Structure 1
């Protein structure tokens, strides 16, 4: 797949950029071991830096192979310290996004800013018609983030996603999308 998504996206406060090996230690300190951050994620809190290093290596490989773009979110004044991630998993005509933000940055409107900027850019490209995301039905903060980013609730998907910090059984999720 030819990929026309940029390597970097800038918003008023953030830069969304490619992951670097040196980011793992920052992500581990910022949120990958935080149970509150991981609560609704599809992964358990990481207990070893090596786990985060492996994930960043996976993201870098997927980026190089044009399978996905795991954009790290950094504030303009500190490009070396990521505070979150917006993962764009590429499909034909559709991009499925997931996102995470360190707890101390919650409530500042940073994630809606990042999602909106990414979505506007992606939908301006001829090959993409739909950006979509799911969130657990109990994750009201994530649902609100998507709504603030212009996404519309399309429905409820029963037994859709395993959220290991809540249950080993698949849980219901809401499907949100923004289309052109």
Structure 2
């Protein structure tokens, strides 16, 4: 079968963004906004531009590839300000096109690139003859991986010595590869997710309910922060202080948490120490408020326990760490470290 020919629209829009082909007149904007920023270009296929002439050459290439149909880069603009914030590029590849993107540092963490990648991917997957859309990111770039995960891309694996990122030298770098296929869209359309206002409950895990809990998983970029639920339940089996609970949104299991409750120990070992041992929300149900409500229920439970003054936890530091989430719930960092993890506590005393 002949590979499908692809010619996307030059102009696209989302709720917050406008897309258009870049022009030579964009050189000043591109150079000053991010092309010379080493933090932005660290994991790109090109080094930071040393002069605006390099930027003009880059933009001339952008105009050329649009004209000959070999690639389709768009400049991204905010609708509210008209400000250019980055670029996204569709890389034709027959039935399996790829994606690339870059965002100015001032606009990181606001969901703009997720919005852009989602929009272009949706357009691509609606075209006849398309089997998959894929993208890669450096193994040390979890921010880019999270963009793909939040855009519905699924993790496929690690490509060793795959991507050339000149800021790191001449050797190719290991890269994570993600993809999205038309069947993903169909599956998600059939899935009945619990509404955001679903009732969240913490439930005991039984022989009849354990299997769905074992199937829950976090996104690939979050796996370094939390053990699989099977490991947690195995540890709970050997610890009398463990208090494991499934997190439900209405009747759908969406997560898991486990409290270390020292008052569950034999009487001669009991003390008033409460520690959030494990906590996870399945990647499909994140950003719906279920995790926040689950922690609030846990806090209510701990307040009812003997002598409870604090709820403690530790987390693995690094990009993507959950510390910001816990701070919004009132936890504070203590400056203490335990086996490479940083401690936070929530004061419970009135």
What residue number does 1:26 align with? 29
Find the counterpart in structure 1 of residue 89 from structure 2: 87
The corresponding residue for 2:159 is 157
Which of 128, 144, 147 is equivalent to 2:146? 144
The counterpart of 2:46, out of the listed 34, 43, 46, is 43
| Structure of higher RCO (CA pairs closer than 8 Å, 6+ residues apart) | 1
- Calculate the TM-score normalised by the size of structure 1: 0.95
Task: Name the CA distance, whole Å, in 2 between partners of 1:48 and 1:142.
Answer: 26
2:105 maps to which of 99, 103, 106: 103
Task: Note the residue ranges of structure 2 that are not aligned, 5 or more in a row.
Answer: 183-350
Larger radius of gyration: 2
Describe the SS at the equivalent of 1:15.
strand
Whether the 8 Å CA contact 1:41–1:163 is kept in 2: the answer is: yes
Deviation at 1:2, TM superposition (A): 4.1
CA RMSD of aligned residues (A): 1.3
- Aligned with residue 64 of structure 1, among 44, 48, 67: 67
Q: Which has the higher strand share?
A: 1
Tell me what 2:130 maps to: 128
**Is the 2:47–2:167 Cα contact (8 Å) retained in structure 1?**
yes
Q: Distance in 2 between matches of 1:157 and 1:167?
A: 18
For residues 49 and 77 of structure 1, the distance between their equivalents in structure 2, rounded to whole angstroms, comes to 27
Is the contact made by 1:11 and 1:114 (CA closer than 8 Å) also made in structure 2?
Answer: yes
Task: Kindly provide the CA deviation profile for residues 105-125 of structure 1, in whole angstroms up to 9, marking residues without a partner as x.
Answer: 000000000000110011111
Instruction: Give TM-score scaled by structure 2 length.
Output: 0.50
User: Which of 106, 113, 116 is the matching residue for 1:114?
Assistant: 116
Give the number of equivalent residue pairs.
179
